[in-house]
Structure 1
Amino acid sequence: MPEDADHMVTSRKLAFGMMLSNFHHGFWSDSIYPAPQMFLLDLDSKLGMAIPAIERRAGRGETARNGLLRVIERVSHAVHDNPPDPNAHRVYWHPGEAFLGRHSQEVLAYVSDKVPDQSWGMNRESPRIVAATLFELNSIYDYSPSRQAPIFDSLDLISPNGVVLLGSGSSNSDYEDGIYLTWKGVLIKRSSGTENSWHVVYHIGYQRLFQDAKWQGVIFVGQD
């Protein structure tokens, strides 16, 4: 009986993983951008699931990723630092970090989730399950047909609750939305609204500004 029970639990996990993989593929199949790396994590155990599967092999000119267990360990550690409230019904954000082991940083977003006990295979009440996603900004840049570098030197990304996800965020409170000339170059700030907004600040050095043809036709009205 124990062997039959273990086999049943394993079969349920595989079936659940296949269902999530099919949904993930179907949801992103029409997108022009590559699908993000997603996870289901159990905060009370080491059980975790990555969708799609994580491979350490690297393409030509690429840095190999961390293995599955290492990535899940890093993501779980970040979630445990600020565990989601299951009753909050909101997305939590974690600042950019090299979760996948490459030189670039990925922004982590996660929410509290619920799955059927039979699918997860755990014989306990109300497991603390988290659904998480890693957003690889470099994969968005690299998708461009020309595969050119971003036309800015750096950016600051600040979530609505004030968490600095990328960059230093030091310029966010100093500027309203607009375009500014500073002693370092051009600063562009954009917000998604007036309250509880996302904020992004682009930093463009003068060297890039003068070399990049994309900026030749832009007229700037700014301030120091």
Structure 2
Amino acid sequence: MKYESSRLRALATSSQRLNKMLLLLTSLALLLVSMSYWAVGRVFEEESDKVDFHFARLIESIHEHESFLKQAAQGYSRAHQNVVTYVQPFSSKLIMLGDDEEVYQVKGLAMSIPFTLAKRNEYSDDAMSGALSWGVQLTDFYSSFWAGSFYSSPQLFMFSPSPQFNVAIPGVGSSRRQLLLEKSNFFEVTQSLYAKLSAERNKLSETHVGWMRAPHGLFQDTKTIVGYIGIDLTNEVMPSGKDHGLSILTALLDASEINELERLLVRPINNRFTLISPEGDVLLGEPSRVNNLSDGFSLDRYGLCFKLKSAGENPWVGLYSISYESFFRYALWPLLGVIGLFSL
């Protein structure tokens, strides 16, 4: 009896120890699961905040570009008579020859931003005085506007109604941020832009800024959208002395330059980004999944999706997609901790 009683006491003591260990392990497991859940939630919250920040900054940048284009179109319209033809540039240097074009790098003043002017061979230097004067004035407005803006200045182009001349600001190879417009791609860029803008001429207006998708392969490794507006310039600017229709002023906005957080954290905000204009045109990305997703956060077979809209009756729509692979890579250790605990 004493032997059996001793065994029962030992069994009871051992059971108490096991219960205490089990309780301790359970408490530890709950703590670790809670910490892992919190860590995964923080990763998700960070991605959500980055998406909200990027979209807000992008819409603000779009509005800033629209403001610039409208001010230029209205201020230099024929009706306001603000364009003069007697302003002569500080320097004008021939830098390239095309099949039927001459390309000049021009400076209004010794230390001003250079602009590039391309003209048809048929026009003499004297015939280009009005166009050169216009280029100097447009460059001056470009500099003053973007010097006071929080956002990066765009690559700007101006095309005459018929292919008489065009202007690029900043000029070829003169951007300090990134040399996107160079001698090697100048003709390809201007010709593809002019061709696509000409196809949109029926939408051209002096009071409304239109947006379109950039021509395929315009600039590599950029997410570029094209804003454009019509401008009614005086005939004195035209090399031929006359032209019919509106000139086109167009600004290229690179959405990838908005990612300040991406530069800080050295990892992308999203794997896929789709941007849709208020008119319903898809400017970036693919449109296939946008209409099938609800506003805000959702999940699909591709990954995490954030569908955002700007304010107003006709909003801009942005769809940010983060693949499961990318998200799980960011949350790898918290998730491994959860899986390890549940596998014990």
Q: How would you bin the TM-score normalised by the shorter chain?
A: 0.7 to 0.9
Say if 2:292 is the partner of 1:181: no
Distance 1:145 1:179, change over 3 A: closer
In 1, the alpha carbon distance for the partners of 2:310 and 2:302 equals 25
Partner of 1:153: 271
Equivalent in 199, 207, 216 of residue 89 of structure 1:
207
Residue 197 of structure 1 pairs with residue 315 of structure 2? yes
Distance 1:151 1:143 in 2: 8
Aligned residue pairs total: 209
2:240 aligned partner: 122
Over residues 33-75 of structure 1, what are the superposed CA-to-partner deviations in whole Å (9 max), with x where a residue is unaligned? 3211111112312421111112299999x88855322211010
Alignment of 1:40 onto 2:158: yes
Distance apart, 1:101 and its partner CA: 3.5
* Aligned with residue 22 of structure 1, among 117, 135, 140: 140
| Structure 1 letter corresponding to 2:220 | R
Report what 2:194 is aligned to.
76
Superposed CA deviations along residues 109-148 of structure 1, whole A, max 9, x for unmatched, are: 2111111222333322544311111111223337965373
Kept after mapping to 1: 8 A contact 2:262/2:269: no
Residue 49 of structure 1 is matched in structure 2 by 167
For each residue in 1:64-118, what CA deviation from the matched residue of structure 2 results, as whole angstroms up to 9, or x when unmatched?
A: 8553222110100111222144557322222244564323342112111111222
Unaligned runs of 5+ in 1: 217-224
Shift of 1:8: 4.2
Secondary structure of the 2:270 match is: coil
More helix, by proportion: 2
8 Å Cα contact 2:206/2:231 also seen in 1: no
In structure 2, what is the equivalent of residue 169 of structure 1?
A: 287
- Any idea what the Cα deviations from partners look like across 1:13-46, whole Å, max 9, x if unmatched? 2221111111111111133432111111123124
SS in 2 for 1:146: helix
SS at match of 1:34: coil
For 1:191, the aligned partner's letter is K
Distance 1:100 1:56 in 2: 18
SS at structure 1 position matched to 2:201: coil
Q: CA offsets per residue over residues 145-189 of structure 1, 9 Å max, x none? A: 537343111111011111111111122211232101223211000
3-state SS of the aligned residue for 1:110?
strand
- Is the aligned partner of 1:101 residue 2:229? no
Larger Rg: 2
Give distance in 1, aligned partners of 2:265 and 2:151: 13
Q: 1:201 to 1:23 in 2, by over 3 A?
A: same
What is the identity, as a one-letter code, of the residue corresponding to 2:258? I
User: Which one has more relative contact order, counting CA pairs under 8 Å at least 6 apart?
Assistant: 2
Alpha-carbon contact 1:156-1:201 (below 8 Å) kept: yes
The answer to whether the 8 Å contact 1:84/1:111 transfers is no
The aligned amino acid for 1:45 is: P
1: CA distance, partners of 2:214 / 2:265: 22
Go from structure 1 to structure 2 and tell me whether the alpha carbon gap of 1:26 and 1:63 turns closer, same or farther (over 3 Å shift). closer
